[in-house]
Amino acid sequence: MSHEAQPAVGRGKVILLGEHFVVYGVEALAAGIDRGVEAVARPAERTSLRVAPWGTAHTGEGDEDLDRALAAVLPEGGPPLRIDATVALPAGAGLGCSAALGVAVVRAIAAHRGEAPTDAEVAERALAWERVFHGNPSGIDNTMAAHGGVALYQKGEPLVPIPTRGRLRLVIGNSGESASTKEMVASVARQRGRDEARFAKTCEAVTSLVRNARLAIEAGDAHGLGRLMDLNQHLLSGLMLSTPRLEEMIGAAREAGATGAKLTGSGGGGCMIAVVEDEATGARVREAIEAMGAEAFVAEAGR
């Protein structure tokens, strides 16, 4: 059997609507994008994981997170492997980079062993990898990295796949600002504590936005989805989760023709996403964001 198979893939992910509020039981819409991580496993004298373009190498025996994560997904008693992974996502930017890497590594190991695990099995195996980085992860990143598509997520419930009419076209821009998810979640919790009645109304509003966005996605209505994303961004800004840099990038995307744009993930930095109706508009929006000195790329989601 040849081990020079096609590279195994793990997808990046974005939250289309509903982030932060999932902590309080509100539904969120997530999408796996067509950019992520590729990995190939080959026989070797000693097990190692090499990650490009980071230029790092890990054996699964050290104290670094990637060493411990690799050890968590290696089969017991398996032969030594050299795993080469190529990452096409910014790390620490809310796009599920660690989960995409974990899924790609799990799939590469399985392919080398002649196994063909289901997406659900891959996601489950990659959860051990994610626990190294996030302690008690929600499971949304590794599940979207394995399954792709668009899905409805609610805390404590299984993901609900959402059918799409055609592919969603997105432009993703990286602000280059780093923020702590833990700190952003704590900030929202403090605001909730100061005015629980107002926060409950915000949760109701987000629930309505998410449910209408699901309908827009199912109908292939990029214009309707964009307007709902704009409304979600207004609520996130009201909770002081946005930044001047993100607001400028979101504004530039709208002016360049995006039907809507918002931050994605924890906020306080990280990435923004914009939805566009066609390829030409996607290119204009990407160029507008890049003209601000930020990194941006066009991605697609859906099946």
What are the tens digits of pLDDT across the range 102-132?
A: 999 999 999 999 999 999 999 999 999 999 9
Question: What are residue 20's phi and psi, to 5 degrees?
Answer: 70, -45
DSSP string, 261-291: EEEESS-SSSEEEEEESSHHHHHHHHHHHHT
Contact 280, 167 (CB under 8 A): no
Domain boundary among 162, 184, 211: 162
Q: How far is CA 136 from CA 155, 203, 248, in A?
A: 13, 24, 34
Q: Give the mean model confidence (pLDDT) for residues 208-221.
A: 97
Are 157 and 280 within one domain?
no
For residue 2, pLDDT over 90 is answered with: no
Q: Angle at Cα 78 formed by Cα 148 and Cα 6, nearest 5°?
A: 40
- Structural domain contains residue 134: yes
Residue 18 lies in a domain: yes
Same domain for 122 and 181?
A: no
Residue 1 in any domain: the answer is: no
- Asked whether the CA dihedral 119, 121, 123, 129 is positive or negative, the reply is negative
3 inside domain = no
Q: Could you tell me if 76 and 173 lie in one domain?
A: no
pLDDT at res. 4 = 58
Tell me: the pLDDT tens digits for 62-81? Answer: 889 999 999 999 998 889 99
pLDDT in tens, 248-281: 999 999 999 999 999 998 899 999 999 999 999 9
| CATH number of domain containing 148 | 3.30.230.10
Same structural domain, 137 and 203: no
Domain count along the chain: 2
For the segment 8-19, what is each residue's pLDDT rounded down to a tens digit? 999 999 999 999
Q: How far apart are CA 111 and CA 7, in angstroms?
A: 9
Question: At which of 162, 190, 213 does a domain end?
Answer: 162
Q: For tokens 């668009």, what's the residue? A: 150
- Domain identity same for 144 and 232: no
Containing 126, the helix (H) or strand (E) segment is helix 119-134
Does 180 have pLDDT greater than 60?
yes
Residues 144 and 27 in one domain: yes
Token reading at 91: 């790390």
| Torsion angles phi and psi, residue 146, rounded to 5 | -85, -45
Minimal CA–CA distance to 51: which of 6, 3, 112, 97? 97
Residue that finishes a domain, picked among 134, 162, 190: 162
Same domain, 189 and 288: yes
Tell me the pairing of strands 150-153 and 168-174. Answer: unpaired
Same domain, 213 and 128: no
Query: Which H or E run contains 218?
Result: helix 196-219
- Decide if 55 is inside a domain: yes
Shared domain for 128 and 230, answered yes or no, is: no
- In this structure, what CATH number is given to the domain that contains residue 239? 3.30.70.890
Do 184 and 272 lie in one domain? The reply is yes
Give the DSSP H or E segment for 85.
strand 81-87
Partners of 84 in beta bridges: 40, 50
* Residue where the block lists tokens 């399954």: 147
Confidence of residue 5 (pLDDT cuts 50, 70, 90): low
Query: Does residue 2 sit within a domain?
Result: no
What per-residue string of b and e applies to 275-288 under the rule 16 or more CB within 10 Å gives b?
bbeeeebbebbbeb
Q: Give domain status of residue 33, yes or no.
A: yes
Instruction: Determine the residue type at 274.
Output: A
Q: How far is CA 78 from the centre of its chain?
A: 30
Query: Given a cut of 70, is residue 1 above it in pLDDT?
Result: no
198 and 282: one domain? yes
Nearest residue to 36 (alpha-carbon basis) of 55, 15, 10 = 10
CA distances from 16 to 168, 188, 234, 276 (A): 11, 19, 14, 13
Host H or E run for residue 56: strand 56-58
Q: 200 and 157, same structural domain? A: no
User: Is 189 within the bounds of a domain?
Assistant: yes
**Rounded distance, CA 214 to CA 151, Å?**
9
Domain that holds residue 145: 8-162
